[in-house]
């Protein structure tokens, strides 16, 4: 019996070569340039640039706001995906289309809209500010816009898994006397673990690097509402290119390390056979 060629794509070597070439040009070379520029600083200069009080405050706010928004989106995105898959209601197609709006809309526009809504005289701010809810020029405002830009990643990651889920398993569990909570916890949630972790990782990564929307709602106050990308821009405006690149390297290393950890958790939680 002759051997069967099981390669999916013809010309695999050529396709792989093109892939590696464009990956190198678009991803690896910019990263290498970033590290080389940061390496032009001595260790003392590098440390002085990346570990100032202002830089540490920016790191804490950047990763704290990104983590908070990713956790909120994990719940909101799951609920929205669940409603879109499991229920029929008027305007469902419209709601499904609006989920992708943050991906198509320039983030600067989203930041401007949020800033105008939540300021003291805004449509929502005139009611919320007297209650002590400051939705503009605060850390809370940063989390709000990060939730806005990151929500589609969780919805679009979880939604296909819910659509492909076999309802027979849920019906079998119900026939055996399982409650809805038990069915959700024992059958539905384990199947969604990888998708939820992937959505969390995508949302977190997007939030860490977000600039366009945050710059309009944060107020950019050092030590208070200044995120790390804004600090990098501030260093560039001061023509301190080495210091700006050093801060970018710190963000890159921390972000990559957290994404690797999340991917390891995703593999660990994936059911065997997938």
pLDDT at 270 over 90: no
CA terminus-to-terminus distance, the chain: 30
Q: CATH homologous superfamily for 50-269?
A: MetI-like (1.10.3720.10)
Q: What is the pLDDT of residue 268?
A: 76
The pLDDT tens digits of the residues spanning 20-61 come to 888 888 888 888 888 898 888 999 999 999 999 999 999 999
What per-residue confidence (pLDDT) applies to 10?
62
pLDDT digits (tens, 9 = 90+) for 197-220: 889 988 998 999 899 899 999 988
The mean pLDDT value of the chain amounts to: 87
Q: What pLDDT score was predicted for residue 1?
A: 45
Residue with tokens 């979880």: 158
Asked if the model's pLDDT at residue 227 lies above 90, the reply is yes
Looking at residue 19, what is its pLDDT? 82
Q: How does pLDDT run across 95-138, given as a tens digit for each residue?
A: 999 999 998 888 889 899 998 999 989 999 999 999 989 889 99
Confidence grade of residue 16 (pLDDT, cut at 50, 70, 90): confident
From 163, 119, 162, 172, select the one nearest 144 (Cα to Cα): 119
Domain ranges for the chain, please list them: 11-40, 50-269
Q: Residue 2: pLDDT band by 50, 70, 90 thresholds? A: very low
| Per-residue pLDDT, 255 | 85
pLDDT of residue 6 exceeding 70, the answer is no
Query: What is the number of alpha carbons within 13 Å of residue 24 lying toward its C-beta?
Result: 6
């Amino acid at each position: 019996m002759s051997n069967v060629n099981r390669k999916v794509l013809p010309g695999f070597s050529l396709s792989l070569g093109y892939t590696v070439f464009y990956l190198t040009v678009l991803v690896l070379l910019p990263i290498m340039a970033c590290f080389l520029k940061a390496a032009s600083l001595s260790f003392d200069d590098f440390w002085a640039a990346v570990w100032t009080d202002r830089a540490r405050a920016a790191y804490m706010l950047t990763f704290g706001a990104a983590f908070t928004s990713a956790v909120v989106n994990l719940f909101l995105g799951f609920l929205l995906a669940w409603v879109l898959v499991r229920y029929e209601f008027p305007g469902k197609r419209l709601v499904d289309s609006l989920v992708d709006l943050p991906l198509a809309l320039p983030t600067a526009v989203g930041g401007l809209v949020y800033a105008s809504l939540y300021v003291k005289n805004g449509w929502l701010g005139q009611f919320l500010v007297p209650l002590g809810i400051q939705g503009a020029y605060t850390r809370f405002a940063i989390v709000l816009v990060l939730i806005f830009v990151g929500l589609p990643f969780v919805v679009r990651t979880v939604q296909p898994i819910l659509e492909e889920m076999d309802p027979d398993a849920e019906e079998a569990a119900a026939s055996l006397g399982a409650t809805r909570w038990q069915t959700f916890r024992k059958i539905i949630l384990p199947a969604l673990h990888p998708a939820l972790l992937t959505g969390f990782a995508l949302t977190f990564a997007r939030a860490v690097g977000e600039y366009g929307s945050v710059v309009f709602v944060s107020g950019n106050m050092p030590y208070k509402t200044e995120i790390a990308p804004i600090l990098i821009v501030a260093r560039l405006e001061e023509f301190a290119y080495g210091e700006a690149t050093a801060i970018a390297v710190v963000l890159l290393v921390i972000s990559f390390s957290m994404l690797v950890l999340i991917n390891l958790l995703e593999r660990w939680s994936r059911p065997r056979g997938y």
